[in-house]
Amino acid sequence: MLDTLRKQQATWKEKDGAADAEDRVTIDFTGSVDGEEFEGGKATDFVLAMGQGRMIPGFEDGVKGHKAGEEFTIDVTFPEEYHAENLKGKAAKFVINLKKVEERELPELTEEFIKRFGVEDGSVAGLRAEVRKNMERELKGAVRNRVKSQAIEGLVKANDIDVPAALIDSEIDVLRRQAAQRFGGNEKQALELPRELFEEQAKRRVVVGLLLGEVIRTNELKADEERVKGLIEEMASAYEDPKEVIEFYSKNKELMDNMRNVALEEQAVEAVLAKAKVSEKATSFNELMNQQA
């Protein structure tokens, strides 16, 4: 994890040698299929960080081993699941002009570097402890979300219910307004967004809400204030001044009600799991976090 932090803070330095798997290259390229150039297959001064899987399979492998100043041609095949219909499964050639090769320069684990991450004593041990604390918080949240998702999925599959159209319509309007807010639109524009964009998501949200509501009702659940407090403290720990965040929440009724709803939903999920057949599966930290992305 410390190496990951160093890579995130790395600088790039031009080098004379051949490009390898973790270098950054600047290239011009022109792609063609059956001798004809295709839309989106040409770029100038394109900066490519190798090893991130941004290009189609075989492209980066074709660049590796070449030096700045070289021009060469590579043969690749577009994946069958490629987004452009006219390129799926097609063999292509790319003429590439490699203009620059850069390698990472990782910063040393100095006191100054470590203090950038909020570790006041600037020690490696302090940084390791901080990283571990953050990973444990992220892991706890990821596990909770995964379990919740699986429990809700099982609940939905086991209960086929008819959803009132009025509830779906209302939820579609909510989703429309949320979409408009994200993209800077106004309420009038939001209501003009096509219904089809939101109908499936709206129906699922209504179904989940009704089912969890029934679980809460039949189990006579009320938000556990200790759980609410714990959720707020966990969330606040990610900030520079957790006490300030906790105090801010405690003085804001809307935020507190939202957190009580989160706690109540968790309690409902636990009630579902208590009656379900649960099996454990080992997984790595990276695998679990990638599933969250």
Q: Once rounded to an integer, what is the mean pLDDT over residues 50-60?
A: 92
Taking the C-alpha atoms of residue 202 and residue 221, their distance in angstroms, rounded to an integer, is 25
Q: How many CB atoms lie within 10 A of CB 92?
A: 19
CB atoms closer than 10 angstroms to residue 241: 10
pLDDT above 70 coverage of the chain, percent = 96
For residue 279, what are the contacts with CB-CB under 8 A and spacing of at least 6? none
Assigned CATH class of 124-278+285-292: mainly alpha
Q: What would the mean pLDDT of 182-188 be, rounded to a whole number?
A: 67
Cβ distance 113 to 23 under 8 Å? Answer: no
Please check the confidence at residue 65 and state whether its pLDDT lies above 70: yes
CA 42 – CA 156 distance, rounded (Å) = 47
Which of 11-15, 142-146, 242-246, 255-259 bottoms out in mean pLDDT, i.e. has the lowest? 142-146
DSSP 26-89: EEEEEEEETTEEEEEEEEEEEEEETTS--SPTTHHHHHTT--TT-EEEEEEE--TT-SSGGGTT
- Amino acid 32: pLDDT: 96
Tell me if residue 210 falls in helix, strand or coil: helix
Say if residue 28's pLDDT is above 70: yes
CB 75 within 8 A of CB 91: yes
DSSP H helical ranges for 159-252: 165-182, 187-191, 199-218, 225-236, 242-250
Q: Hey, where are the domains in the chain?
A: 11-105, 124-278+285-292
* Residue pLDDT, tens place only, 89-118: 999 999 999 999 999 999 888 888 888 887
pLDDT tens-digit series, residues 159-172: 888 888 999 999 99
Highest mean pLDDT, choosing among 131-135, 184-188, 278-282: 131-135
**What's the pLDDT band for 284 if we cut at 50, 70, 90?**
confident
Answer yes or no: CATH 3.10.50.40 is held by domain 11-105: yes
Q: Does position 188 have pLDDT exceeding 90, yes or no?
A: no
